[in-house]
Structures are given as structure tokens and as C-alpha cells.
Structure 1
């Protein structure tokens, strides 16, 4: 029996042409999608670079506009600092006019502190919660002031949570003991004596030489131990 090599059998010319055409079509489609992908990537990068450029340009302008508001803030005139005066913008207008800029971000911090001084606690929390800082002093303080706002409204549970959040952010011997002390007071006001006790003990054990009086922490921890 003779074995036939199927590769030697002549193929139908029309089928061969179809296969060849299909191969060319797939290759063209592949090249087309590569081109589309390249164009989308190029456009996205261009838009992103344009956004960063415009944001930086706006940030420079915002720095000029916020100068007078900071002056009023430092002078203790918080109403003018927030709303502006004459042709000068206040913090609120700077935030609205220059969103996503570094200056608008710091303006949120100033606005929150200003509203705290005016005893408008909801607004203070709203603006302070929008502030995002890498500086451990300002970021920690913003959370601590949010805690103060909750304390003023007698929501001690939330106050304690924000004081602890401030204390746990980049712990240091200067500010952490102070925030732990505030958390302990808020916990006690909320009836959470054990958590308050733990805050005082943490001050004693981890920050014995801090500016916060460790002797006071020992005394307060001893007092709260009676409730445990």
C-alpha cells in the first residue's frame, strides 16, 4: 500500500488565496490596534502633562492671592481671612478658584482652624478633613483639631478616634504624648476608662521625658485604674 504525502496534494487555489487574504487582514488589524494604542497613550500623556503644567501655573497665582488672607489669619481676624476683603480673596475663594493646587490644600487647613475659632465646628471639620499633608506637624494637628471640634459637640467617641489618629501618625516625643493625653480625656468622658488608662500608661512607658508631664500621666493612670 502506497503512503500518500498529503502535503504533495495540490490545494484549491481559491482556498489558498482566502487563507492568504485572511493572514494579511489579521496583520493589518494588528498594526491598526498598535497604532490606536500608541495614539491613546500619547494623548493621555499629553493631557496629563498639560494638567500638571496648568495646575502649577494656577498654584503660583494662588500663592499671590492667599497672601492677604494669611495676614488676616495671623492678625486674628478670621472672618476676613475666610471671606476676604475688598479685592483680596479669602481662604474659601482661593479653595474654590484653585482646586487641586498645593495652595488650595493648605488653605483648607487655615480655613478649618479659622472656623474653629468662630465655633463653626461642622465647617471646621469639613475643611480640615480635606487637608492632606506630608508634614507630620500640620497633618497631626489637623486631626487633633477635628477631635477638638467633636469634643466641643460632646461627641467624645469620635474625638478620641481622631486624637489617636493624630498620635499614631509619625510618633514623636513632642506631639504624640499631647495627643494621647487628649485621647485619654475623651475616652474617660465617653466612659471608656480602660482605653483612657492605656493612653496614660503609653505616655509613661514610651515618653517619660516628654513635655507632657509624665508625673501627671502616672497620677491620672492611677486614678482611672480604680474604674477598671
Structure 2
């Protein structure tokens, strides 16, 4: 340990020793200059690639949003075939989701396509697109879960309907939509003769969402179940 300290002190106090260290460092850099340049180039390329890809995605998202404008108009006008498949000049949700799937607008096209197929009664196709939709927002992801529940409800697959309504109700609960999902969950539970599950969903509305439009129905329906038990 003492030897190590002495060596360090000698280097700091001796100009000759310092010169030797600098020369050794210069020699190492000269010998490995290609390696260092290569590492620097890789770092520069990685940074440039990241920002270049981000710029590319932003441009692609702008393109997808422009295409979405007409498709959304058709969807809201209930022209579902045009909304899904386009009109010859503008893409529909199906092609937007396929061609721009890595953009925000392309992701949203999955949601719209699923909702449109649900309206058309094409439940498997609806699920295919709704399951591809991913978001971390307050409202739309839960809405997608609820729509998947609707597809199963229409097919009388009440167990899966309950699963997705429950998923919707538990996703970022809020006073605007959660009571609706809980009501759907309760009604699907009743279809399964799951009285306990239905009561629990109704009671959650009564306890937590007394200002909602579903509050009075929840009280009425739970009273009916209590009277039958």
C-alpha cells in the first residue's frame, strides 16, 4: 500500500514521470485511433438514427392523420364500408391500421375499425382490431375493452363478456364511464346466474358513483336480486 502511495506521489511531483505517462497515453490513442473513431462513429450514427426515426414517425403520423380525417367522417355518418375500406381517394381504417400501424393515428385506426366491425355484426373481426389497439389514456383503452365485451355479449359468451367489462371498469376508474362498464358487468353476471358478481358490481355503483345516471337502476336491480335471494 505504501509503495502504491509513493509511486503516485512520484508521478505528481516528477515532470519526467508525468511526461512518460502523457507519452504512453498518446501512443495508446495513436495505436487505437481506428477503434476510437469507430466507437465515435457508432455513437453519432445511433443518435442520428434515433432522431431520424423519430422525425420519420412524426411525418408518417401526420400522413395517417390526414387519411383518418375522411374515414372518421364516414364512420360518424354511418357509412361503415367507406370508413373501413376507403373511397378510392382516401384510405379506410383497415389500410391505415395496416400501413401506419407504428404511428399513433394507425393505432387509433385499429380502434375505429373494431368499432365499425362491431356495428356491422362482424364480431371476430371487431375483436381482431380492438385487441391490437393499445393506449394508456384515461378513456379510450377502457372503451376498447368494453367494446370487446360487447362482441362477446352479442355472441352470448357471457363469461368472456364479464371478463372484459370488468377489465374496462377497473382500468383507471372515473365517474364518466366506469358506472356504465359496471352496469354492463352486472347484467352479464346475471346472464351467467352469478348473483354475487352482479350484486358486487351494482353495489360499487351505489357506493362510489351516486351521481351517475346508473345509480338509480343499480339500486333498483340490487333490490330485485335481494328480493329473489
User: What TM-score results when the alignment is normalised by the length of structure 2?
Assistant: 0.79
Q: Which runs of 5+ in 1 are unaligned?
A: 1-24
CA–CA separation in structure 2 for the residues paired with 1:32 and 1:151: 65
Aligned equivalents of 1:49, 1:72: Cα separation in 2:
35
Judged with a 3 Å threshold, the aligned counterparts in structure 2 of structure 1 residues 221 and 61 are, in CA distance, closer, same or farther, namely same
Indicate the SS of the match to 1:191. Answer: coil
Does the alignment pair 1:102 with 2:104? yes
For structure 2, list consecutive stretches of 5 or more residues without a partner in the other structure. Answer: 1-26
Alpha-carbon offset, residue 45 of structure 1: 2.6
Contact 1:106–1:131 at 8 Å: present in 2 too?
yes
Aligned residue pair count: 205
State the distance in 1 between where 2:222 and 2:35 align: 69
Can you list the C-alpha shifts for 1:7-47, whole angstroms capped at 9, x where unaligned? xxxxxxxxxxxxxxxxxx99999887766554444333322
Tell me by how many angstroms 1:137 deviates.
Answer: 2.4
Contact 1:193 1:227 in 2 (8 A): no
Aligned mate of 2:154, from 152, 155, 167: 152
Is the alpha carbon distance of 1:40 and 1:211 closer, same or farther for their aligned partners in structure 2, counting shifts above 3 Å? same
Residue 48 to residue 205, structure 1, CA distance change in 2 (3 Å): same
Root-mean-square deviation (Å):
2.6
- Partner in structure 2 of residue 57 of structure 1: 59
Distance 1:72 1:27, change over 3 A: same
Q: 1:148 to 1:28 in 2, by over 3 A?
A: farther
* Correspondent of 1:181 among 183, 195, 201: 183
Contact persistence 1:140–1:166 (CA under 8 A): yes
Q: TM-score, normalised by structure 1?
A: 0.80
Q: Which residue of 1 aligns with 2:218?
A: 217
Distance 2:71 2:35 in 1: 53
Q: Match for 2:90 among 81, 88, 91?
A: 88
Q: Which runs of 4+ in 1 moved over 3 A?
A: 25-42, 225-228
Q: What is the 5 A alignment of 1:135-146?
A: 135-146=137-148
Mapped contact 1:150–1:156 kept (Cα < 8 A): yes
Q: Which residue of 1 is the match for residue 76 of structure 2?
A: 74
